[in-house]
Amino acid sequence: MSRLLVATLVTLTLLAVGLIGAPMAASADAEVQDLQARIDAATPGSTIIVDGGVHAAVTIDKPITLTGRNTPIIDAGGEGSAIAVAAPDVTIEGFTIRNTGVSLDRENSGVDANDSPRITIRNNTFENVLFGVFLRKAPQAVVTDNRIGAMDLELGRRGDGIRLWECSDSRIENNIVSGGRDTVYWFSDNLTVRGNEVTGGRYGLHFMYSDDTLIEENRLAQNSVGVFFMYGRDLTLTNNVMAENQGPSGYGIGLKDMDGITATGNRMVGNRAGMYLDNSPWSVDQYQTIDGNLFAYNEVGVLFMPSVKRNTFTNNAFVDNGEQVGVKGGGQFSGNEWTLDGSGNYWSDFAGFDADGDGIGDVPYRLADLYSTLTDRHPELEFFSETPAARAISTVARIFPVLEPRPKVEDTAPLIHPPQFPVSSAETTRSSTAITLASLVLLATAAATLALGRGGRQLSGRRTVTT
């Protein structure tokens, strides 16, 4: 009898498991699809693995790690932000994030984070988003290895690919941002911005009130402006490429009211102006050095406001810019240096010589072109640049020195050979035609001058004859 009872109980138990099992599995599947429910149920510090699927917008209000496998999608459905974060120590990685709303005043974003220190956004793809990554009061943030697109809207109606507000001590590295309005860094000190590619926007990088920042090996191309800095200090720019930024201003690098700039190894190629300086440095006790950069095929190599002083340019290469150095507007331009410790810059239009073969021109490079001076004061005359009339004006000024203007540049130790620039990862990732051409010209020039030997007499930066 007891055996029969046991058998009956076992049979009933198995039937119960079989009956209940299917609904439990369905409930588990539903939980997998309801990502918000999983986030709400998670304990702080836990990791949620999301395996594929399409998920609605979510809100994260606790420190968790959200990891995607097999490229799960978070789709905002055209309304609001896709992921809203209001907690510290959150990590979001491995997702496609798409289809935000289009409200600029509500700042609809792929990832929208407030008061979220130490947030990490890594290895995600953003598609059809107004703002890509928007962080407010999120110090020590890490935004790395993301691909951030934009909406197909008029440029001024788009949001920013990346925007940081009060996010000091953060790292922005190895992101590809295309088509957004700007990438913006405001009130954020001690940033590292490295290895990013920003194309097709308004400002590739835009900094305001941000000090002690390292900008390294970024590629900023085909924007309105490459990078613009305002109202900050102690900025280091190293081995970046600013190419073919051709907007109304079209600066490769723009500096306004900046102190303590160090710029070395950068390539400014094919912009309207390779570098623009306005009241930089602005402190009377500050001096800045621009050392070892390439300015090539820009309409203007370096463009100054007339009151700018206390900048030293050395070991740079100025190659075939429409105007090597320009001054915007009237006023007396002085107080900048073009030679440091006996080393000046390479000028592709230098017409001097090097009789002793020491690599330094035996006569100074002087930039005193009358027509360029006229266009600095009257920009509407640029329409006639490179015309026979423009060349005639400059030629007459050289024949009759009384008409020759005061030199804008006097480099007392011009370099005969272009400097050797280290290879930059920003240059090799996706080089533009202008960058490639500039590199080939520099290599050809250096090879030609070295082949002709030290005993040669250098008549110009591009032509050598032997004696």
User: Other CB atoms closer than 10 Å to residue 327's CB: what's the count?
Assistant: 22
Task: Give the residue-averaged pLDDT of 173-181.
Answer: 97
- Find the length of the chain: 467
In this model, does residue 404 exceed pLDDT 70?
Answer: no
In this model, does residue 12 exceed pLDDT 70?
Answer: no
SS3 string, the chain, reads: CHHHHHHHHHHHHHHHHHHHHHHHHHHHHHHHHCHHHHHHHCCCCCEEEEECCEEECEEECCCCEEEEECCCEEECCCCCCCEEECCCCCEEECCEEECCCCCCCCCCEEEEEECCCCCEEECCEEECCCEEEEEECCCCCEEECCEECCCCCCHHHCCCCEEEECCCCCEEECCEEECCCEEEEECCCCCEEECCEEECCCEEEEEECCCCEEEECCEEECCCEEEEEEEEEEEEEECCEEECCCCCCCEEEEEEEEEEEEEECCEEECCCEEEEEECCCCCCCCCEEEECCEEECCCEEEEECCCCCCEEEECCEEECCCEEEEECCCCCCCCCECCECCECCEECCCCCCCCCCCCECCCCEEECCHHHHHHHHCHHHHHHCCCHHHHHHHHHHHHCHHHCCCCCEEECCCECCCCCCCCCHHHHHCCCHHHHHHHHHHHHHHHHHHHCCCCCEEEECCEEECC
Q: Average pLDDT, whole number, for the chain?
A: 84
Which pLDDT belongs to residue 329? Answer: 78
Residues 6+ apart with CB under 8 A from 461: 346, 347, 348, 349, 350, 416, 418, 445
pLDDT category at 457 given cuts 50, 70, 90 is very low
Condensed to tens digits (0 to 9), the pLDDT of residues 334-354 reads 999 999 999 999 999 999 999
User: Other CB atoms closer than 10 Å to residue 248's CB: what's the count?
Assistant: 7
Q: Which residue has the higher pLDDT, 402 or 37?
A: 37
Task: Give the residue-averaged pLDDT of 2-20.
Answer: 44
Condensed to tens digits (0 to 9), the pLDDT of residues 81-98 reads 999 999 999 999 999 999
In this model, does residue 288 exceed pLDDT 90?
Answer: yes
Condensed to tens digits (0 to 9), the pLDDT of residues 254-270 reads 999 999 999 999 999 99
In this model, does residue 446 exceed pLDDT 90?
Answer: no
In this model, does residue 147 exceed pLDDT 90?
Answer: yes
pLDDT category at 179 given cuts 50, 70, 90 is very high
Which pLDDT belongs to residue 332? Answer: 81
End-to-end CA distance of the chain: 122
Task: Give the residue-averaged pLDDT of 129-133.
Answer: 98
Strand partners, 131: 109
Task: Give the residue-averaged pLDDT of 355-384.
Answer: 72
In this model, does residue 18 exceed pLDDT 80?
Answer: no
In this model, does residue 45 exceed pLDDT 50?
Answer: yes
Which pLDDT belongs to residue 422? Answer: 72
The most confident of the ranges 20-34, 148-162, 434-448 is 148-162
Question: Which residue has 């072109």 as its token pair?
Answer: 369
In this model, does residue 301 exceed pLDDT 80?
Answer: yes
Strand partners, 380: none
Q: Which segment of 77-86, 151-160, 254-263, 385-394 scores lowest on mean pLDDT?
A: 385-394
Question: Which residue has 């280290």 as its token pair?
Answer: 422
In this model, does residue 9 exceed pLDDT 60?
Answer: no
Q: Is there a contact between 422 and 267 (Cβ–Cβ < 8 Å)?
A: no
Q: Is there a contact between 442 and 319 (Cβ–Cβ < 8 Å)?
A: yes
pLDDT category at 375 given cuts 50, 70, 90 is low
Which pLDDT belongs to residue 438? Answer: 60
pLDDT category at 224 given cuts 50, 70, 90 is very high
Question: Which residue has 């994260």 as its token pair?
Answer: 60
